[in-house]
Structure 1
Amino acid sequence: MADAAPTVSKSPPALVPPVGPTPRGALPLSSIDKTAAVRVSVDFIQVFPPSTDGASAGDQVAAMRDGFARALVPYYPVAGRIAEPTPGDLVVDCTGEGVWFVEAAASCSLADVNGLERPLLIPKGELIPRPPPEEKLEDLILMAQVTKFTCGGFAVGICFSHLVFDGQGAAQFLKAAGELARGLPAPSVAPVWDRDAIPDPPKLPRGPPPSFTAFNFVTQVVEISPENIARIKEDFKAATGGETCSTFDAVTAVVFKCRALAVELPDTAEVRLGFAASTRHLLQGVLPSVDGYYGNCVYPVGITRSSKTIREAALTEVVGVMREAKEALTVRFTDWMRGGAKDDHYNVPLDYGTVTVSDWSRVGFNEVDYGFGEPGYVFTLNDDVNIVASVIYLKPPTPKRGIRLMLRCVEEPHAAVFADEIAKYA
C-alpha cells in the first residue's frame, strides 16, 4: 500500500498586534516604492532543519510569535494596512492592527518531502499564510506561517508587500523579529521610515502599456558551482588586464548567453536582460540614514543587444557588458532623482526576447534566526508568472555552495538546449 500523501493542518489566522502603543496616522510611500513596485505580494519559504537546543516546538513558536509582536513596536507601520485615500495615492495607514500569523503542523518529516526541494511534495498553498476572507491580501504588509514537521524542523512561509519593502528591507524586519524572539532588548538595526526624503521627480510620459503574452515557461533548477564562478572571474581578469567582476556579473552573463544560444532568435532580433539594482549606496546623504531604511531602494538596469551579438560573444565579453550596465547606474539614477531622466527605464518590452534576473542569494533571508537557528534553504514561490522570462538566484541548500538558479525563462522547445548550455557551468 502506498504511503499516504503528506497533509498540513492549519490553525485559523490570528492577529499578532504590537506589544505596546504605537503611533497612528497615514505615512507616505516613496516615489521609488510607487514606481518600482506594484501592489503585489511576494511569497517565500524558509526551511529550518531540526534544532538541537532541546526547546519544545510549542515554546519555539511562542517565542517567534512574541518576537513579531515586539518588532511591531519599532516597526509600527508594518502593523498597519495599505490604503488609497484618493485614486492612485497609496499610503500606509498606521492602524496598529498587527500581522496575521498562522500555526500549522505537517504529518511528515522534512526528509519525507525531500527537504521541500522541487517539485514540491506539499502544495505551496499549504505552506504560505493567507488572511481570513474579510481581509484583502493587497492591503496587508506582512504575514507569517510556521509549519512544524514531525522531525522537529520548521518551514516558515512569509508573504510581504513589495510596496512597503524590497527584499533587503523585508529581511531586515524578519531579522529584528528573530533578535527579539531570542531575547535581545532591541533590534540591532534601528528602523528608518523617511520615505518622503527620497525625491519625487516629475513622472515621465508613459508610452502605450506593454502588450502581454502568456508564455508556457518550463521550470528548471540548476546550480552553478563555486569553482566555475571562480574560473569565469579569473578568465575575465585575464581578458581585461586585471579587472574584477562580481559573482552576479559572472552568473548573469552565463544566463544571458546560454538563453540567447537556446532560443536562437533571428540574428538582428533584440535580446534583453533586465534586473533591479540596489541604490542604497547612492542614497547616502539623501536619506537621514541608509542603515535601517527598509523601503524600496532599486532602479532598473537594462541591457539590449542583437541575438547574434550575444550568441557569438565570448563569455568574458558578456561579463563586460554586465559591468558597463552596472557602472552606468550611478549616472542614470542620479539623473532620475534630479528629474533629468529622458527615458522611462521601467518600460521594457515583455516579449520572448526579454529575460529578467533577481538575486535573492544576498538579501538576508538566509540569515534570519527566530530562535531555532538559521534556515538551511530559502526559496521563492512566485513562480507562476508567465508574462516575462525570469531567473531567480538562490543560495543552494546547506552544505552546498555556489548559486542555485530557479529558471522559468524558456518554453519546452528550447528547454533541452538551454539545460545543456547551462550545464557547462554547473
Structure 2
Amino acid sequence: MAAPTVAKSPPELVPPAGPTPGGVLPLSSIDKTAAVRVSVDFIQVFPPSSDRGGDDQVATMRQGFARALVPYYPVAGRIAEPSPGDLVVDCTGEGVWFVEATASCSLADVNGLERPLLIPKAELIPRPPPEEKLEDLILMAQVTKFTCGGFAVGICFSHLVFDGQGAAQFLQAAGELARGFPAPSVAPVWDRETIPDPPKLPRGPPPSFTAFSFVTQVVEISPESILRIKDEFKAATGETCSTFDAVTAAVFKCRALAVELADAAEVRLGFAASTRHLLQGVLPSVDGYYGNCVYPVGITRSSKTIREAPLPEVVGVMREAKEALKVRFTDWMHGGAKDDHYNVPLDYGTVTVSDWSRVGFNEVDYGFGEPGYVFTLNDDVNIVASVIYLKPPAPKRGIRLMLRCVEEPHAAVFADELAKYA
C-alpha cells in the first residue's frame, strides 16, 4: 500500500466558552524548580467504535475544551516572563490551539501506532502557527481521524504549568464537559502562591550536557514476572513491595549489567515522586490542584554494587529512597535542604523513570470512550537515559516500558537481561 499521509487543517483557537478573569498568576516554587520550559507530547489512541459519531464527536470534544477553559481559565492564557527568570501565567483568555486532521489509512494499517511509528511524529501532534512561540503555550490538541473510524488525539502541554496528573485532570474535565456534565467532577485549584518558596541553594557549576544516541526499545513486563519479583522480595525480607519498586529495581539492575561501567563508577536512578499527600494543610485543597507536585527521589550506588546485588536487595534500596521522601521534601520546603536534589548529573550513569501508567491519561473520555493505548512522543530528548511506564494496549496486561536508556552497543545485552522478566 502507499505510504500513509495525514492532511492537517490550519490550527484554530478554541477560546473559553464564557467570560474568564484576566491578570497575572504566579507559578509555584515547585513549578519553577522541578520543571523546565519544555513541552510534553503524547498520543491517546481510540480504536474504532460502532457508536461513534465522527465529525459530530470532534465538534463536541472542541466544545468540551471550550467549556473546561472557563474553570481552568489560566490554561487559556500564555506563559510570560515580565523580568528575567520570573515566569508567570498571563490570563489573556486567548484559548488553546486545536488541529483537526485526517489520515489516509486505518489504524490497523499503521499497526495501531505501535513502535516503530509508521506515521511521522510531526503528523500526529499539534503545533501552533508560526507567529506563536511554542514555549509560551500551555496546552494544544490535535484530533486525527482514521478511515476505520478510530482516532488519535495528540496533546502537547507545558510542564511549567502541569505535572502529568494535573494535565490528566484538565483533560478529564474537558471530556466530562464534552459528555454533558454540568461541571467538572473535580473543581480546579490554582493557589500556587501558598506553596513555600525556600531560599535558593548556592548554584554549582552549570550542568554539562552530552547528546547520547539512545535506542528506542519497548519491553513488556508480565504480571507473572512482577508477582515473582514481589514474592522473592517478601521471602527475603518478610515485607511487601509495590509494582513500581519491583519493576524499577529490575530495570536498574539490568541496565547496570548492560552498560558495564567501571566497578567504582556511580550508577544513579532518579524519579519524580508525587508530593500531593505531603501538601495537605499547605494547599487549601489538594484535590483539584493541577500544578507540579513532585520531588526527586534519587539512588546512587557503585556499578559493581548494583550489578552484584540480589534483586530483592535492589528493591530494598528503592523502598528506602521512597521512605526518605517525606523528610527530604519537608526539609526542602522549609529551607533546610543542604543539597539541590533537583540537580542530577546527566551522564551515562544516570537513568530516570516516569510512571505514566497511573496518572490518568488512560481514563480520559471525550465521548469516544477511553483510549485503548496512550504513549509519549518525546523521543528527541537525548541528554538523559529515560524509562517510561505505560499501560499496554488491551487485552495485554502488566507494564509496558518505553525505553530510551542505552546506546546501540549495549542494547542487545539490555534487552536480553530484561527478557528474563518479560
Shorter-chain TM range is over 0.9
Deviation at 1:7, TM superposition (A): 0.5
The residue that corresponds to 1:280 in the other structure is: 276
Query: Residue by residue, what CA displacement relative to the aligned partner does 1:284-319 show, whole Å, maximum 9, x if unpaired?
Result: 111000000000000011100000100000000000
CA distance in 2, matches of 1:52, 1:27: 44
SS class of match (2:219): strand
What does residue range 243-282 of structure 1 map to in structure 2 within 5 Å?
243-282=239-278
CA distance in 2, matches of 1:220, 1:49: 24
CA distance in 2, matches of 1:192, 1:8: 37
Deviation at 1:51, TM superposition (A): 2.0
CA distance in 2, matches of 1:214, 1:164: 27
Structure 1 residues not aligned, in runs of 5+: none
What does residue range 7-406 of structure 1 map to in structure 2 within 5 Å?
7-53=5-51, 56-240=53-237, 242-406=238-402
Deviation at 1:348, TM superposition (A): 1.3
Deviation at 1:206, TM superposition (A): 1.4
Q: CA RMSD of the aligned region, Å?
A: 0.6
CA distance in 1, matches of 2:287, 2:138: 21
Query: Residue by residue, what CA displacement relative to the aligned partner does 1:154-178 show, whole Å, maximum 9, x if unpaired?
Result: 0000000000000000000000000
Query: Residue by residue, what CA displacement relative to the aligned partner does 1:320-371 show, whole Å, maximum 9, x if unpaired?
Result: 0000000000000000011100001111111111111111111000000000
CA distance in 1, matches of 2:156, 2:186: 22
SS class of match (1:300): strand
SS class of match (2:362): helix
Query: Residue by residue, what CA displacement relative to the aligned partner does 1:236-282 show, whole Å, maximum 9, x if unpaired?
Result: 11111x31111110110011000000011111111000111100010
Deviation at 1:9, TM superposition (A): 0.4
Deviation at 1:215, TM superposition (A): 1.1
SS class of match (1:109): coil
CA distance in 1, matches of 2:261, 2:135: 38
Deviation at 1:235, TM superposition (A): 1.1
Query: Residue by residue, what CA displacement relative to the aligned partner does 1:184-203 show, whole Å, maximum 9, x if unpaired?
Result: 11000000000001000001
Structure 2 residues not aligned, in runs of 5+: none
SS class of match (2:273): strand
Deviation at 1:398, TM superposition (A): 1.1
Deviates more, 1:415-424 or 1:230-239: 230-239
SS class of match (1:134): coil
CA distance in 1, matches of 2:49, 2:203: 52
CA distance in 2, matches of 1:307, 1:421: 16
Deviation at 1:52, TM superposition (A): 2.6
Query: Residue by residue, what CA displacement relative to the aligned partner does 1:212-233 show, whole Å, maximum 9, x if unpaired?
Result: 1111111111010011101111
SS class of match (1:23): coil
CA distance in 2, matches of 1:106, 1:159: 19
Deviates more, 1:160-169 or 1:383-392: 383-392
Query: Residue by residue, what CA displacement relative to the aligned partner does 1:56-112 show, whole Å, maximum 9, x if unpaired?
Result: 201000000000000000000000000011111100000000000000000000000
CA distance in 2, matches of 1:78, 1:386: 29
SS class of match (2:343): coil
SS class of match (1:260): helix
Deviation at 1:209, TM superposition (A): 1.0
CA distance in 1, matches of 2:142, 2:14: 12
CA distance in 1, matches of 2:235, 2:282: 38
Identical aligned residues as a percent: 92
Deviates more, 1:320-329 or 1:349-358: 349-358
CA distance in 1, matches of 2:322, 2:359: 18
CA distance in 2, matches of 1:113, 1:104: 16
Q: TM-score, normalised by structure 1?
A: 0.98
Aligned residues: 420
CA distance in 1, matches of 2:131, 2:263: 53
Query: Residue by residue, what CA displacement relative to the aligned partner does 1:377-420 show, whole Å, maximum 9, x if unpaired?
Result: 00000012111111111111111111111111111111111000
Deviates more, 1:343-352 or 1:366-375: 343-352
